[in-house]
């Protein structure tokens, strides 16, 4: 199953992608995580991307598309994938179509996780991540067992540098201007699933699996 998760920053794409990937045994491909991985390894690509990410802007399409195309070519993406954070504008949407067409594939579904603006700010500003294993928490909605410490590897949790209030505003504006037009783009193709992302994490997961099951058996 070839899937895309669409939603504003903080809508819960990463949280749900992890679950969907496990459920269907397909890889979770997050462009944000790929860029952060490059930055951690000190690659040139990571450095270039960081200049845009730290300001809450989109990394240029050519860099992003080449990275996604390489990732989709790895053997684990053969049976399908769940893309999180790509595409992020209409150009990237068209580029994804071309990448899939070249492999004789077609996008199956786009899952739009819909959350209103005010809830997004609280989710982003309260998010904490583990710098070691990438596990995600929320100080109020999903706190770790010991405050400030990762449940999985015991490391001290940190705030993502782009989750500071001044950057969050830019990210939400970029989403509204550049990414939100993809909703109509996929609705017109009748592959858009609308999910109410204001429910609990478990309810959102159930709604996604139920809707995918209803369309794909
Ligand atoms: P990326 O890493 O993709 O960030 P994003 O889109 O801004 O999304 P987030 O990861 O912030 O949110 P999410 O939807 O994954 O939410 P999460 O599950 O963590 O991109 C970062 C940057 O990289 C971009 O700004 C850009 O610069 C660059 N980039 C990436 N892709 C690009 C592309 N294609 N083109 C160009 N540039 C690109 O949840 C958020 C919080 O809420 C967590 O704390 C979680 O615990 C909590 N939460 C989740 N679900 C719920 C729920 N149901 N109820 C209560 N709390 C919840
Ligand atoms: Mg994410």
Q: What is the pLDDT of residue 217?
A: 72
Within 6 Å (CB) of ligand 1, which residues are found? 7, 9-15, 30-32, 35, 52-53, 56-59, 64, 85-86, 88, 92, 123-124, 127, 136-138, 141-142, 162, 171, 200-201, 204
pLDDT tens profile 138-168: 999 999 999 999 999 999 999 999 999 999 9
Q: What is the pLDDT of residue 42?
A: 96
Candidates 106, 32, 41, 101; CA nearest to 67 is 32
Query: Which residue puts its alpha carbon closest to atom 1 of ligand 1?
Result: 32
- Measure CA 211 to chain center: 19
Q: What does the DSSP assignment read for 95-148? A: HHHHHHHHTT----EEEEEE--HHHHHHHHHTEEE-TTT--EEETTTB--SSTT
- Give percent of the chain above pLDDT 70: 100
Residue 46 — very low, low, confident or very high, per pLDDT cuts 50/70/90? very high
| Tokens encoding 186 | 């996929």
Residues whose CB is less than 8 angstroms from the CB of residue 117 and which lie 6 or more positions away in sequence, other chains included: 8, 172
Specify the residue for token string 């400030």. Answer: 148
Residue 216 — very low, low, confident or very high, per pLDDT cuts 50/70/90? confident
Please determine, for residue 6, whether its predicted confidence score (pLDDT) is greater than 90. yes
Domains of the chain (ranges; CATH) run 2-216 (3.40.50.300)
Ligand nearest to the CA of 62: 1
Asked if 77 and 105 count as a contact pair (C-beta separation under 8 A), the reply is no
Annotated catalytic residues are: 13, 88, 127, 160, 171
Q: What does the DSSP assignment read for 48-84? A: HHHHHHTTTPPPPHHHHHHHHHHHHTSGGGTT-EEEE
| Tokens encoding 47 | 């450095």
Asked if 151 and 43 count as a contact pair (C-beta separation under 8 A), the reply is no
Give CA–CA dist 23/126, Å, rounded: 27
Candidates 45, 113, 59, 48; CA nearest to 91 is 59
Give CA–CA dist 96/98, Å, rounded: 5
């Amino acid at each position: 199953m070839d899937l895309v998760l669409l939603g504003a920053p903080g809508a819960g794409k990463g949280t749900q992608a992890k679950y969907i990937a496990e459920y269907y045994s397909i890889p979770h491909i997050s462009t944000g995580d790929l860029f952060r991985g490059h930055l951690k390894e000190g690659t040139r690509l990571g450095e270039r991307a960081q200049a845009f990410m730290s300001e809450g802007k989109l990394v240029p399409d050519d860099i992003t598309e080449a990275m996604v195309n390489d990732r989709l070519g790895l053997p684990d993406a053969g049976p399908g994938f769940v893309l999180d954070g790509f595409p992020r504008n209409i150009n990237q949407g068209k580029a994804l179509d071309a990448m899939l067409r070249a492999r004789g594939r077609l996008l199956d579904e786009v899952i739009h996780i819909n959350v209103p603006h005010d809830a997004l700010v609280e989710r982003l500003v309260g998010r904490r991540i583990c710098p070691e294993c990438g596990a995600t928490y929320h100080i109020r909605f999903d706190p770790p067992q010991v405050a400030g410490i990762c449940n999985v590897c015991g490391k001290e949790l940190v705030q993502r540098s782009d989750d500071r209030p001044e950057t969050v505003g830019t990210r939400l504006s970029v989403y509204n201007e550049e990414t939100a037009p993809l909703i109509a783009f996929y609705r017109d193709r009748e592959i858009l699933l609308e999910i109410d992302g204001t429910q609990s994490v478990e309810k959102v997961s159930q709604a996604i699996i139920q809707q995918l099951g209803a369309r794909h058996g």
